[in-house]
Chains A and B, each alone.
Chain A
């Protein structure tokens, strides 16, 4: 593993971004790494800009935020615009191809989250889905640890559908 991974999960309130940041962070801890998770959110329960930043490192973490992201997930145009121009070309951007237009055209992947959710038959599992998509592109935590962290953070009755969404994201690109 390289020294330090920085992942930004950005979108709007209600998409489970901060929970996903938590799941990713706990998976990294299970793998034996140091993590820091910070979040930005508005006062509304749904809607409004929301993001989670996760830094994963084998060393002590001094700076807890993402200065040089390796990956940005942008589920809304606002989220995309916030990062597209400021991150380096080495940073992979995964964006929602239904919501985001004017892609920067380099090192980025559009993913149709809406269509995948319709296939899965559940619109609420977007965070498990994008965690799968991210893990497929960036090998930052082990699949087993991610599954453990998903199970730890979700009530039993919605675990199956979330694991299905996670695996779908991991396998369908």
Chain B
């Protein structure tokens, strides 16, 4: 295998691995699990040729620990898994957020809970991605809807993680991970890549958790002249534990603000279909491409439908969703779970627009008819 050129037939998982390599990822640690294993496969095969490292770990707890360590040592790092492995990663995900470690975690979702319908598609880890690790924290999660988008969102995930010093989650699903589609890999030299900021102060003045004007601390690597201490305990700007009254408030506030004050840099949505519609679909990932199909099917029945597609799930696009709710007669949220992101849609529903759920929990790509049924219900 070498880097594919020109228009290619490629699997979503392969596109993810190539996106990571093109984004500059040079460390992968993981424990293979269907339907994500092909990401590990490409990394095992390709990373050494790029001067990178692939490690097959003993489990997913070790995998996320390894990528946190590698990132603190200066490497762009990532791992890939599915639901059961993502569950095991939750504790150290919190460590990554608290220590402000740039890294990417790919979750190719399958049906749960537990072993579930191995290894059929679902989108039921949406709230787990948001709140799976304990404690108050922000997170960034992106949701690709095609093989080509898997490539670009993987690059974007690395860029956001470097810019904001935070683990970024790619919430894929079995459909996008294991479908083959046309893709064109661009010249890597043409990509805009973001690298973490290095400290500009002399080593003796360096405080590893002193934020810059964007609330993000410049980052030295283990082994640099600038000494780094990273703690999973409440810490002050030195990086050492600090339990003084006010320290935790200051730290948690900054961790939240460094993301939520800059959501315009993070949030990405696509508007599809007519501007004015009787029903607006809100969806993401594999479900959202079924919605694009349904927009055309609804038109055949004389119902004007459009779609707000969320490429960024977390932070939730409050403003974009609120605007969409205010401009339409009714909303149908289409997702492959029993209703997860619909709760967020209702949270920002200032206009009290009727919101319906189209729920695909059959272990397959949500059928157009399920969404059509909700649309017919909404216009009744």
A interface with B by C-beta (< 8 Å): 22, 25-26, 29, 34-39, 61-65, 67
Contact = CB atoms under 8 A, between A and B. Distances in A.
A35 B179 contact: no
B180 A37 contact: yes
Interface in B197-216: none
Contact of B180 (A25, A65, A67): A25
Given A34-B181, A62-B293, A29 B175 contact: no
Contacts of A26: 9
A36 B368 contact: no
Interface string B165-184: 00000000001001111100
17 contacts: A22-B180, A25-B9, A25-B180, A29-B7, A29-B9, A29-B182, A34-B182, A35-B182, A37-B179, A37-B180, A37-B181, A38-B175, A62-B296, A63-B290, A63-B293, A64-B179, A67-B368
What secondary structure prevails in chain A residues at the interface with B? Answer: mixed
Given A22-B9, A25-B9, A26-B9, A35 B289 contact: no
Contacts, number: 44
Contact of A35 (B9, B175, B290, B368): B9
A61 B180 CA distance: 12
Interface residues of B, number: 16
A36 B181 contact: yes
A63 B334 CA distance: 14
B284 to A, nearest CB: 14
B289 A63 contact: yes
Nearest to B364: A65
B178 A38 contact: yes
Contacts of B179: 36-38, 64
Contacts of B292: 62
A26 to B, nearest CB: 5
Contacts of A25: 9, 180
B72 interface: no
Contact of A36 (B7, B8, B180, B296): B180
Nearest to B183: A29
A39 B181 contact: no
B365 interface: yes
A37 B180 CA distance: 5
B180 A62 contact: no
Interface string B279-309: 0000000000110110010000000000000
Contacts of A61: 181
